[in-house]
Amino acid sequence: MAPAYYYSLANLIGKLGMSRTVSRPTLLPSLEHLQVAITGSMGDEITLTPEGHISVPSHSPVWVIYNFIKENEQSAVDLQQKYRKNKLEAEQLMESVKEDYKLKSLGVDMSVSYDQVITCCKNLLVCNDSIRYMLEGVNLVIAPYFAIMSDGDMYIMWDWVNDL
């Protein structure tokens, strides 16, 4: 896996470097503020992730990469800033929930976004005391589903509604 990724990365960097110096040296501004991930899949298209990363298949023609980056550079920067802001807010809210509920731990399922964590934590912080008492000492995980695991961990949906 790693050798194939390294080959794909070296191949793409080589294409970009040659194109930049030989044909159009000023076509693309500095990329220092962008995060680019190289994918090896042949069917993928260049995409912009919710985190602001540009996902580039290694087989992409240089001119397609240049055009995509030029067209999406500001969006990528904006998404990166929003992601960092939401991450910080989610971490702060999680700490508040953990302390307020006296949880043993508070975790997040990998499929849950920071926006969803923020929503869930804000809902938890406005709950009544009976829910707080029931969750005291629990390992709680914010997830896209409800579950109680055999080890006692409790998973709650990020968009749960307090009906009590």
List the chain pLDDT tens, one digit each, 164 residues: 556 656 666 666 666 665 554 444 455 556 778 888 888 766 678 999 999 999 988 788 888 888 898 899 999 999 999 999 999 999 999 999 999 999 999 999 999 999 999 999 999 999 877 788 889 999 999 999 999 999 999 999 999 877 65
- Reported pTM: 0.75
Instruction: Tokens 């920067």: give the residue.
Output: 77
Q: Which helix (H) or strand (E) holds 89?
A: helix 62-101
- Tell me the β-bridge partners of 54: 36, 48
- What is the distance between the alpha carbons of residues 40 and 7, in angstroms, rounded to a whole number? 10
CA distance 161 to 164: 9
Task: Say what the pLDDT of residue 17 is.
Answer: 63
